[in-house]
Amino acid sequence: MKQYSAEFIGTFWLVLGGCGSAVLAAAFPNVGIGLHGVSLAFGLTVLTMAYAIGHISGCHLNPAVSVGLWASGRFPVNKLMPYIVAQVLGAIAGAAVLYVIASGAAGFDVSKGFASNGYGEHSPGGYSLLAALVTEIVMTMFFLLVILGATDKRAPQGFAPIAIGLALTLIHLISIPVTNTSVNPARSTGVALFVGDWAVSQLWLFWLAPIIGALFGAVAYRFIASEKV
């Protein structure tokens, strides 16, 4: 239960910190942090939680990461569903707190997006379903490659959270214009439930694509990192 609680708390922080920066600070009058700030905020949530709870739960904070770690042989299947449930509940709780805070401002309208992920007319840049699908698969694949490589016993010790946090920052810098960046089904679910309507109807892609990408990343890393000739 301590591991599941850690995953709940960590994913709560990821949604509150990452999505919170997008909802509350991205376009704040005169001093908005914009795309660059939001990207960094997501990276910082993972970096800080990796140091805070990595030694407790592994700091997955993401169903796709848990699936990828299982596929790579580093995570037991009996913990997979409990981890995913804890992550999704943490994301919903984080989104709920963010909703309470954001609704305290006059003119707040959750239907404008609430940091939800989308494609087509709901993509920040108007990108198609295919573009969104490819983006989420490839970005999650490389996220898993970085996670698996940085946490490999042969890698320099103690620096994995920095590499993983910077990787997530880079992923957001690339893909916010396309899908508002998911690579994390729990993060997508948490805010989508408060938007409803289109955000929920498009949620399938932000479960399917990250999980496919995570599986690709696990397979690719097992191939390149194998010590067998």
Q: What is the pTM of this model?
A: 0.92
pLDDT of residue 228: 61
* C-alpha–C-alpha distance, residues 81 and 66, integer Å: 9
CATH of the domain at 24: 1.20.1080.10
pLDDT of residue 107: 82
Neighbours of 37 (CB within 10 A): 16
113-128 burial by CB neighbour count: b if 16+ within 10 A, else e?
bbbbbbbeebbbeebe
* C-alpha–C-alpha distance, residues 128 and 179, integer Å: 9
* C-alpha–C-alpha distance, residues 115 and 118, integer Å: 10
Say if CB 98 and CB 16 are below 8 A apart. yes
Nearest alpha-carbon partner for 100 in 180, 181, 188, 20: 20
pLDDT of residue 132: 97
Tokens for 31, please give them: 């001093």
pLDDT of residue 32: 79
Say if CB 211 and CB 143 are below 8 A apart. no
pLDDT of residue 61: 95
Residue 116's domain comprises 2-225
Total domains in the chain come to 1
User: Low-confidence residues of the chain, pLDDT below 50?
Assistant: 229
pLDDT of residue 29: 67
pLDDT of residue 108: 86
Rounded to the nearest angstrom, the gap between the alpha carbon of residue 122 and the centroid of all alpha carbons in its chain is 18
